[in-house]
Amino acid sequence: MKKEVAILVVTLLLLSMLNIGKGLGNSEIKFLHRNGYCVIETDLPNLMSPGRPILPYELRTYVFPAGTKINRVDVKIGEIRDIKIKEKIEPASFATSNGKEIKMDEGIYQKNAFYPEKWYEYRTGMGLKNGKRVLFLNVYLYKYRYNPVKNEIKYAKNFEVKIDYELPEKSEKSGNYDLLIIAPAEWLPDLQSFVEHKEMHGIKTKLVSIAQAEAMLGSDDAERIKRFIQYEIEQDGIKYVLLVGSASILPVRYSHAYDGEESQFVSDLYYADIYNGDGSFSSWDTNGNGIYGEWNKNNKDVLDLYPDVYVGRLACNNKDELDVVINKIIEYENNAYMQEWTDRAVVCGGDSHNDNEGIFEGEQIKNTSSFYLRKNYFDITRLYMSLDTLSKNSIIEEFNKGELLYNFAGHGNRLSWATHPPKEFHTWIGFSVADLYSIKNGDKLPIVILNACETGQFDKGTTLAWSLVSASSKGSIATFAATALSWEYIGSYCDKGLSGYMDVLFCKHFKKGAFLGDTFYSAKEEYIKTTPQKDEHDYKVIEEWELFGDPTLIIGGYGGGQNNPTVSIKFPYEGYIYIAGKAIMPSRHARTIVIGKINVNVSAYNVNKVEFYFDNELKFVDDEPPYSWTCDEKAFFSHQIKVIGYGNESSAEDTLNLLIFNI
């Protein structure tokens, strides 16, 4: 009888936690009045399509194991209120690039219909989460729909989401390798020391020639390389890819998201986006016309966009550049840890555009980025035109002091970056490739973000982005930059979409001790997820940002020298419900819920043994891989599993908080 009562209690608790349709409550709608428009103020994200009404929406993201089949998504709309307003809902601001503005969509405000057309929509995509390939299901709930002609809002207070899905029969197998390097055959001997360095730090590395990668079947060399990456994912479980060679040495893919200015541009995201949401190969040419990443009035390729591997490129033109860069990476990872300069971040900006609000866009973007950098424990130095602290000399001086991150927002071309003093749009202040001769920062190498046009357009020749990385004994350790014209909103919404928003997301995910590829692509993943109504400019921003550097670079270097132990809990995954040791479904609020016993599997490198703890009590010691333990503790509700991996001189640990019902 007691056991039956306990089971009933567990069931009731689970039912309360699995109610994925619960609304956001009864909070009153708050309207603000600004510049003759009405603004809905909430804590929700906003739809930000240029020229269209800015409306809050609710995003619910569900994460399933790769191979899950989504049969149906049903959404039940709760109570609906009709609200009349006096002023028009504020439209999203213009997008601009080098002074070229996108015109407002006047048709939306003259149409007697509600926008968005539907109460909800959803999208799936295959990508990476915590090192595992997963299926993302993003459900966009449009709580506010607006009719501009009637000046009326329909507001839905609650939504109930029901998902019909089938989990895969088999889970992803463990990988033999972490990092795949593709390089010219004659450069492979030069990369051996780099491979040994990576292996020493627990990064299992596979080195192949471009010719080996191009031996696969495909429509051209770029697709053959992409097919090879797919093969290595499925054969060896790789998570990171390092492309070695300039555009003339290792093939590039040109994407065709036409923005009215450029018909094509380079995107290495092509090599990262391997799968569609259903697990099929992501060709980037779904209409089969041989034009990749196409987006124009007549044709649109359907792209998943989510990265399935984290790709970086060393755009080396010769072996001398390669030797410089790999030596910089090795020295950085071995020696940067705990150096005083790694606590610093420098942000640079000015008045990017001549808007009607008097906003200094570069500085506002940097202020928002700095908010996240401070949360990640960085000391911020601001080089702002409005503070009279930004000049060519101050840029060089800050480089020479050393910092972990150097972040620029403004304008650019292949060889330079610059911005304007307030309201002086014919005055340019910045730095260029020629100024590298004055930079003498030695081994104090930052990761550089160049939020500007074309500074990473490496298919056209020398670039500021790659010049910083390839400079000997100076410059940067890696650079994030755009390979084409970069679009940005003007005015107060400059940090809410396009390149300004991507800049903010890079800083949001920038943390010491993280892999650089995780930082770079986590920002892209969040942009994809939080931008439901993507247009050609969104696609271009997502695709054009390039990582010039090693995706497995540890930001701030390895702690305590070489051979550091690493340990992480790989199963159970966070955010799922498990019954009898099997993942049944995602849980609400990303709780990890276990009914019965569960196998705990651990990935560990450079360790002699792994200890398993339950609520800080040692339960099991495993001294041989694969490291695992069956947790069959009699428990009820909140508990913690901790694992500690012990190396020769140090240890590493990982924890998992979960709800266990095992009576």
User: Whose CA is closest to 280, among 452, 123, 66?
Assistant: 66
Residue 22: what pLDDT? 35
Question: Is residue 98 very low, low, confident or very high in pLDDT (cuts 50, 70, 90)?
Answer: low
Least confident of 53-62, 88-97, 530-539, 559-568: 559-568
Report pLDDT digits (tens) over 216-251.
Answer: 999 999 999 999 999 999 999 999 999 999 999 999
CATH hierarchy code of domain 566-662: 2.60.40.10
Helix axes 498-508, 516-529, angle to 10 degrees: 130
The CA distance from 55 to 44, in Å, is 9
Comparing 342-548 with 566-662, is the CATH topology the same? no
User: Is the pLDDT at 564 greater than 70, yes or no?
Assistant: no
Strand 344-349 and strand 379-384: the pairing is parallel
pLDDT at 469 over 80: yes
Mean pLDDT (the chain, rounded): 90
pLDDT greater than 80 at residue 376:
yes
Q: How many CA atoms lie within 13 A of 367 on its CB side?
A: 14
Answer yes or no: is pLDDT of 348 > 80.
Answer: yes
Percent of the chain surpassing pLDDT 70: 92
Of 103-107, 121-125, 137-141, which range is least confident?
A: 103-107
Instruction: Indicate the class that CATH gives domain 342-548.
Output: alpha beta
Does 544 have pLDDT greater than 90?
Answer: yes
The pLDDT, as a whole number, for residue 101 is 53
More confident residue, 430 or 171: 430
pLDDT (0 to 100) of residue 626: 78
Confidence of residue 28 (pLDDT cuts 50, 70, 90): low
Domain residue spans in the chain? 2-166, 342-548, 566-662
Read off the tokens for 176.
């033999």
Q: What's the CA gap between 518 and 170, in Å, rounded?
A: 26
Q: Residue range 122-146: average pLDDT?
A: 94
Q: Is the pTM of this model over 0.75?
A: yes
Task: Please report the pLDDT score of residue 130 as a whole number.
Answer: 81
pLDDT at residue 29, as a whole number: 80
- DSSP letters spanning 32-55: EEETTEEEEE-SS-B---BTSB--
122, 73 contact by CB (below 8 A): yes
CATH of region 2-166: 2.60.40.3800
pLDDT of 32-71, one tens digit each? 888 788 999 998 999 988 888 999 999 999 999 999 999 9
Q: By mean pLDDT, which of 354-358, 492-496, 572-576, 584-588 is the weakest? A: 584-588
Both structure tokens of 542: 């997502």
**Proportion of the chain above pLDDT 90, given as a percent:** 72
pLDDT tens-digit profile of 151-208? 999 999 899 999 999 999 877 666 789 999 999 999 999 999 999 999 999 999 999 9
Render pLDDT for 292-340 as a digit per residue (tens, 0 to 9). Answer: 999 987 889 999 999 999 999 999 999 999 999 999 999 999 999 989 9
Residues contacting 426, CB < 8 A, separation 6+: none
Residue 6: pLDDT above 70?
Answer: no
